[in-house]
Structure 1
Amino acid sequence: MTEPPLAAVLPAAPDLAAAVSAWLRHLAAERRMSAHTVEAYGRDARQFLAFLADRFGAPPSVADFMTCAPADLRGFLARRRAEGIEGRSLQRALSALRSLARSIGRDSGATASALGAIRAPKAARRLPRPLDPLDARAVTTTEPRAGEARDPWVLARDAAVLALCYGAGLRISEALALKRSDAPVGAVDAVTVVGKGRKTRSAPVIAPVRKAVEAYLALCPYTLAADGPLFVGAKGGPLSPRIVQLAMERMRGALGLPDSATPHALRHSFATHLLGRGGDLRTIQELLGHASLSTTQVYTGVDSARLLAAYKSAHPRA
Structure 2
Amino acid sequence: MAISKANGGWLVDIQPAGRGGKRFRKTLKTQAEAKAHEAWLKSQVTQSAEWLPKKKDLRKLSELIDLWYEHHGIGLSSGRDTNQRLLAMAAAMGNPIASSFSASMFAEYRTRRIEAGISANNMNREHSYLRSVFNELERLGYWKAENPLAKLRQFKIQQTELSYLTHEQIATLLAELQTAQNPHVNLITQVCLCTGARWSEAEELRTSQVRDGQIQFANTKSGKVRSVPISDELQSALNDHYKSHGTGARIFGYAYSAFRDGLDRAGIELPDGQLTHALRHSFASHFMMNGGNILVLQRILGHASLTMTMRYAHLAPEHLQEAKHLNPLVFRQAA
**What TM-score do the two structures reach when normalised by structure 2?**
0.66
Contact 1:169 1:271 in 2 (8 A): yes
Give the whole-Å Cα distance in 1 for the aligned partners of 2:261 and 2:81.
29
Does the 8 Å CA contact 1:275/1:281 hold for their aligned counterparts? yes
Q: Does 1:61 align with 2:97?
A: yes
In structure 2, which of residues 151, 165, 172 is the aligned counterpart of residue 117 of structure 1?
Answer: 151
Q: Provide, for residues 265-314 of structure 1, a one-character-per-residue CA deviation record: whole Å limited to 9, x for no partner.
A: 1111000011111112111111111111111111235679xx9xxxxxxx
How far apart, in 2, do the equivalents of 1:96 and 1:86 lie? 16
Let me know the Cα RMSD of the aligned residues: 3.1
**SS of alignment partner, residue 24 of structure 1:** helix
- Per-residue CA shift, 1:28-67, capped at 9, x if unaligned? 323x1425xx52464255335533x3xxxxx5223222xx
Q: Which amino acid aligns with 2:204?
A: A
Alpha carbons 1:136, 1:266 under 8 Å: kept? no
CA distance in 2, matches of 1:146, 1:46: 41
CA distance in 2, matches of 1:23, 1:109: 10
Which of the numbers 119, 125, 149 marks the counterpart of 1:92? 125
**Equivalent residue number for residue 234 of structure 1:** none
Question: Which one has the bigger helix percentage?
Answer: 1
Q: 1:231-261, CA deviations, whole angstroms, 9 ceiling, x for partnerless residues?
A: 2xxxxxxx23xxx211212321332111447
Deviation at 1:132? Answer: 1.2
Greater RCO (Cα-Cα under 8 Å, separation 6 or more): 1
Segments of 5+ residues of structure 2 without an aligned counterpart are 1-57, 321-335
Deviation at 1:207, TM superposition (A): 4.3
User: What is the match of residue 203 of structure 1?
Assistant: 228
Q: Give me the identity figure in percent.
A: 23
Q: What is the Cα deviation at residue 91 of structure 1?
A: 1.6
> How far apart, in 1, do the equivalents of 2:133 and 2:186 lie?
42
Distance (Å, rounded) in 1 between the aligned partners of 2:66 and 2:304: 29
Counterpart position of 1:80? 113
| Greater than 6 Å deviation, 4+ residue runs | none
State which structure, 1 or 2, has the greater radius of gyration over its C-alpha atoms: 2
Matched, 1:169 2:196: yes
The match for 1:24 among 38, 59, 69 is 69
If each structure's strand is expressed as a fraction of its own residues, which one has the higher value?
A: 2
For residues 60-101 of structure 1, the C-alpha deviation after alignment (integer angstroms, 9 at most, x for no partner) is 223222xx2x43333233333333333322221221221222
Cα distance 1:129–1:303, how it changes in 2: closer, same or farther (>3 A)? farther
| Structure 1 residues 1-318: aligned runs within 5 Å | 15-30=60-75, 32-35=76-79, 38-40=80-82, 42-44=84-86, 46-51=88-93, 53=94, 59-65=95-101, 68=102, 70-105=103-138, 106-139=140-173, 141=174, 143-145=175-177, 148=180, 150=181, 154-155=182-183, 157-183=184-210, 188-194=212-218, 195-217=220-242, 220=244, 228-231=249-252, 239-240=253-254, 244-260=255-271, 262-301=275-314
- 1:18 is paired with a residue of what secondary structure? helix
Contact residue 222 and residue 302 of structure 2 kept, 8 A: no
* Residue identity matched to 1:50: A
- Figure out how many residues of one structure are paired with residues of the other and give that number: 259
Tell me, yes or no, if the aligned pair for 2:288 and 2:315 is still in contact at 8 Å: no
